[in-house]
Amino acid sequence: MEEHKQRYLHYFLQRTKISFDEFVQIIKSREAELRGSYAEKVELSSDKFVEMILLDAAFIIELLLRYHFRQLQKKDDHIFHKPYLIEDIWYDMWLLENQLPFFILEDLFALATIEIPEQHENPTIITVTYEYFKGLEVVQGNRQKFPPYTEVRVEHFLDFLRICHLPSSRNQEKQEGQQYHKGKTAPSVTDLHQAGVHFSLSKSNDLIAIEFKNRTLHIPKLKLQLETESLFRNLIAFEQRHYSENYINDYVFLIHHLVNTAKDVELLVQNGIIENWLPDKETASMLINNLSIAILSWNC
């Protein structure tokens, strides 16, 4: 991967027409803020730290630009012509320990010169990030949760993904989520079905917008695939460390109580609520139960 990063850095320097040394000075001017963004002290010299930030930031920006503007992809591009590398990269992009402060990406992205077709608007780092994760079907959220529509500040990619999954009506969802942490539990999907409850795919793009109305439980689509557990484990850990509002944790807590067995998964698949890309419904049930264990382990 180091070779790919160096190659993308080379293209990034060509694109911006700014020298390596000039970028070093730009990053050095924000070094204290960058170091302060990490939970643990970074044991690197100033030069090594700044070079690491530049290499990682240039690689990410070049990757996002090439994904957004396909005409920027070159025939010898070793990233986009090897799908397994793309998968490795987006796994890395949401790992809690790999997060790069978003403000430095914004600063450097603003310097990236690209030729925009007339029908396209000049993109922002928010735009290309959203399109990248949406294209990989990692997010379903609303683009209007981000600037310029809101004043929300994005800390890093994992924070970006958390924002994508937040409900539009936060106060109401928070109250509902807190009830489950006060000792109350929810019956399983199978139990509810036997009691005459119906299930319906919610029209909402907000993952957490679960609503019970007229004996019908409306649940947004949940896509289960190989990367789902990794994504939610990192979201859970990040949220528990940095937020008092536990939207993701509350959602996983509720889904865990609804889905205990393969039969529960089967009922939600039949109603179009779960889209299961895992080998079988038993694996899907196990994934959801593993996520509930992640919540308990982080609370200990």
pLDDT tens by residue, 37-57: 988 899 999 999 999 999 999
Q: How far is CA 208 from CA 10, 168, 177, 226, in A?
A: 42, 9, 10, 21
129 plus 195 within the same structural domain: no
Amino acid in position 75:
K
16 plus 140 within the same structural domain: yes
| Partners of 224 in beta bridges | 276
Round to whole Å and give the CA distance between 269 and 276.
7
87 plus 229 within the same structural domain: no
Amino acid in position 46:
S
The fraction of the chain above a pLDDT of 70, given in percent, is 86
For the chain, the domain total comes to 2
Where in the sequence is the domain holding 235, given as residue range(s)? 170-299
> Which residue ranges of the chain lie beneath pLDDT 50?
170-175, 177-182
Of 131, 165, 199, the residue that ends a domain is: 165
Identify the pLDDT of residue 186: 80
178 plus 34 within the same structural domain: no
Amino acid in position 293:
I
Q: What are phi and psi of 219, to 5 degrees?
A: -130, 130
Identify the pLDDT of residue 133: 87
205 plus 263 within the same structural domain: yes
Token code pair at residue 65:
């630009």
Token code pair at residue 228:
């789902």
158 plus 35 within the same structural domain: yes
pTM confidence score = 0.88
81 plus 200 within the same structural domain: no
Q: How far is CA 204 from CA 56, 60, 130, 139, 168, in A?
A: 35, 31, 18, 13, 10
Identify the pLDDT of residue 40: 85
197 plus 132 within the same structural domain: no
Identify the pLDDT of residue 183: 52
Of 119, 137, 165, the residue that ends a domain is: 165
97 plus 178 within the same structural domain: no
133 plus 261 within the same structural domain: no
107 plus 183 within the same structural domain: no
pLDDT tens by residue, 169-194: 544 444 454 444 445 678 999 999 99
239 plus 112 within the same structural domain: no
Identify the pLDDT of residue 287: 96
Of 165, 186, 208, the residue that ends a domain is: 165
Residues 236/291, Cβ–Cβ less than 8 Å: yes
